[in-house]
Amino acid sequence: MTTTDPTTTPADPELVAERDSLAAARAALRAMREEVEGTELMLGDVVNDKVTNAALQRGRQRRLAALADLPGAPLFFGRLDFDPGTVFLDEDAGRGPDRVHIGRRHVHDPQGRPMVLDWRAPISVAYYRASPTDRMRVLVRRRYGFTTLDHGPRRDPEVVLTAFEDEHLTGAPVPDERPGELLAAEIERPRTGPMRDIVATIQPEQDDLVRAPLGTTLCVQGAPGTGKTAVGLHRIAFLLYTERERLSRAGVAIIGPNRSFLSYIRDVLPALGEVDVTQTTVGDLLTRGLPERFRPAAGWVRRTEEPFAARVKGDARMAEVIRRDLWSHLREPEEALMVRRGSRRWRLYPEDLRPLLDELAGRGVAYGSGRELLSHRIAHTVLTLMESEGEVCDDRTHEQVRRDPAVRSAVTALWPKVEPTAQVLGLLTDPERLARAADGILDEREQAAVLLPGRPRGPRSARWSAEDLALIDEAAALIDRPAGLGHIVVDEAQDLSPMQCRAIGRRCESGSLTVLGDIAQGTSPSAVRTWSTLLEHLGKPTGHLSVLDRGYRVPAQIIDFAARLLPTIARGLGAPVAVRRAPGSLRVTPAADGLAAQVARACRTALEGEGSVGLIAADAHLPALLEELAAEGLDVPVLDDDTGLDAARLVAVPAGLAKGLEFDAVVVAEPAAIAEAEERGLNRLYVVLTRAVSTLHVVHSRPLPAPLAETPVSG
Ligand SMILES: Nc1ncnc2c1ncn2[C@@H]1O[C@H](COP(=O)(O)OP(=O)(O)OP(=O)(O)O)[C@@H](O)[C@H]1O
């Protein structure tokens, strides 16, 4: 590898040439941007073409955003030298290799000749996948290293090209499992703030998944730190590149476990030039369409279910309970309906109305559209009567009859309007109604478990749980089918209940999904336990299952320790193969002089190193621990569901929010308390123990949970 000081002119002429190429590419990008800025938009009439004009202007804004030169992200990160004639068809014979730089976006010179190729373009695949055994016409792959110079608060940081590493693919293959120096440096680069993209170092097994075609639903089982989240985000950027038209119309979303996680990943897609992607939690996705007037002041989710209730509410059988209850709102016709037209009266008797209702209910229409359809059917039947008696009818007559107050009130009586939140509230607060809907589906104990606590007067005062929201969504979808999306990436999917899967799946009926997770990290009692079942509930039983097993985050010493839990929590699942070992990365310390004092020492030691530090403890245990730490002179800000990781280097994380996050150094306080805090506490502990990039320090005043205590630790 060739490296140099970022602040001086390099002695190596190759490095000078590479810096020049980068400067030339930046100048070309500026020119491309100026060209877009300078082109006049051919806008139409201000009033008549308002929508088209707005779309044209949005298109221009998007093109400009895609051509921005982001200060922290160098325009290219790699170079490929291909066999001559692979990329460029013109040019003189006998020239050198076809040479292209690979970067975050396409850049061309004023003659239109490419200077930087977008990493998503088909030719760039070779950058990620070429190997000595299949070199894909690549002679040399070059990776660049960059150093960021911080110029203080008034100027953007400057990213300077300071290194490159060449891999010659024409020699004999050398079996080597170790990552290259630049990849290792990228993985170990200290973490500050939100997650970064990995576009420069995507590995072949990850690239396979990133570039799978849009039509394929993928399900990826991957141990901690194998890059699932990174793959999901880069896959979105790839799909938007290849299928932009289709996807920008239909929409794309990524679903994460909580808002702190979303805040952690928020910068990755914009850095890849993609800004139009919805990033949401399941809860926010499901409550987005619910009436604002029903939103409880303290937020939709105010309660955690007991494990048994969570399992029943999350079970797919609940879909049938909700369906039966909804359709039980239909009323038997008991009275005749009379429509007056001038001096004449037309009557429909219950026996005329009943078949209309039965036909609609049996046809599988959405409950909400049934009301309108019923009014049409009634009008049609009345018109048939009228015509049989010689009246002349047309579309206007049909519309008049349909809107007749008598018809409208008959429709309301026979096919009452149902609001999903109110329906589920009614069902879960009325044992007799529930017994009718759940007859033969839920036993008595299960019925008792799903009732809502207290006596809520209305949806606003109810204390809903996350599981309740999926029930409301099921009802809402039976009433009015939700709009679909083109592609959904679901991260930490191992925690989804069957009912949540249904909710996500119905938003993607004609689209596809990328499902990412790790069964061993499943903590929710209502979670589906196998990927094949989960895919069935998502409505994609033929989804393709892949496994990622190379761990990029956690050093081998730490993963070996955490993996002691695997036989207990997820028999049959292996630990990831860590790509690096880091002697001294694991410490397990009994707290001889009190937990807080020892934790304070561990945090202070961690702060002596570079990057972020996470102190993780059981949710209920954390407030008291933080008070004691404050008494020790250490004030630690807490991460909560709504804030995300702020600029503080040391942050306290409730174990319940640790999923998906990572820190350079992690201090875990009292693992036994984490393990005991919930039904699947050992799974939670496994999540917590696998958050560290460089060091993990476990501090305990009580014995370690049995699987961890088996043999002494050698870090
Ligand atoms: N190819 C890569 N190059 C550089 N860094 C990588 C690569 N793959 C993964 N990483 C890094 O490894 C870390 C773990 O990645 P990520 O969070 O995507 O893993 P995960 O499988 O989702 O983990 P978990 O299941 O624990 O949430 C991240 O910091 C990510 O940037």
pLDDT at 68 over 70: yes
Which residue in the block uniquely carries the two structure tokens 């139009």?
276
Domains in the chain, start-ordered, CATH in brackets?
Answer: 2-176 (no CATH), 256-295+304-326+421-497+507-548 (no CATH), 330-414 (no CATH), 556-709 (3.40.50.300)
Q: Is 222 in the pocket of ligand 1 (CB under 6 A)?
A: yes
Interface confidence, given as ipTM, is 0.99
SS3 660: coil
Instruction: Report residue 615's pLDDT band, with 50, 70 and 90 as the boundaries.
Output: very high
Instruction: Report residue 87's pLDDT band, with 50, 70 and 90 as the boundaries.
Output: confident
**Per-residue pLDDT tens digits for 89-124:** 765 555 789 999 999 889 998 888 889 999 999 999
Neighbours of 61 (CB within 10 A): 12
pLDDT in the model for residue 454: 85
pLDDT in the model for residue 291: 86
Residues annotated within a binding site for ATP: 222-229
Q: Is 257 in the pocket of ligand 1 (CB under 6 A)?
A: no
**Per-residue pLDDT tens digits for 561-599:** 999 999 999 888 877 888 888 888 999 999 988 999 999
If residue 615 lies in a helix (H) or strand (E), which one and from where to where?
strand 613-617
pLDDT at 332 over 60: yes
Instruction: Report residue 713's pLDDT band, with 50, 70 and 90 as the boundaries.
Output: low
Substitution site in 191, 657, 662 for ligand 1 pocket (most atoms within 8 Å of beta carbon): 662
Indicate the range of 17-21, 157-161, 611-615 predicted with least confidence.
157-161
Residue type, 632: E
From the CA of 222, give the closest atom in ligand 1: 21
Q: Is 221 in the pocket of ligand 1 (CB under 6 A)?
A: no
pLDDT in the model for residue 656: 93
For atom 5 of ligand 1, the residue with the nearest CA is: 187
Query: How long a stretch of residues is the chain?
Result: 715
Which residues have CB under 8 Å from 30's CB, separation 6+?
69
The dihedral sign for the CA sequence 354, 358, 360, 361: positive
Average pLDDT over residues 33-52: 75
pLDDT in the model for residue 91: 57
CA 165 – CA 368 distance, rounded (Å): 62
Which tokens in the block code for residue 263? Answer: 């805040």
Residue 436 CA to ligand 1 centre (angstroms): 49
CB contact burial 552-562 (16+ within 10 A = b; e otherwise): bbbbbbbbbbb
Per cent of the chain over pLDDT 70 is 93
pLDDT in the model for residue 650: 94
pLDDT in the model for residue 677: 95
CA 183 – CA 489 distance, rounded (Å): 26
**Per-residue pLDDT tens digits for 235-249:** 999 999 999 888 988
Q: Is 576 in the pocket of ligand 1 (CB under 6 A)?
A: no
pLDDT in the model for residue 712: 62
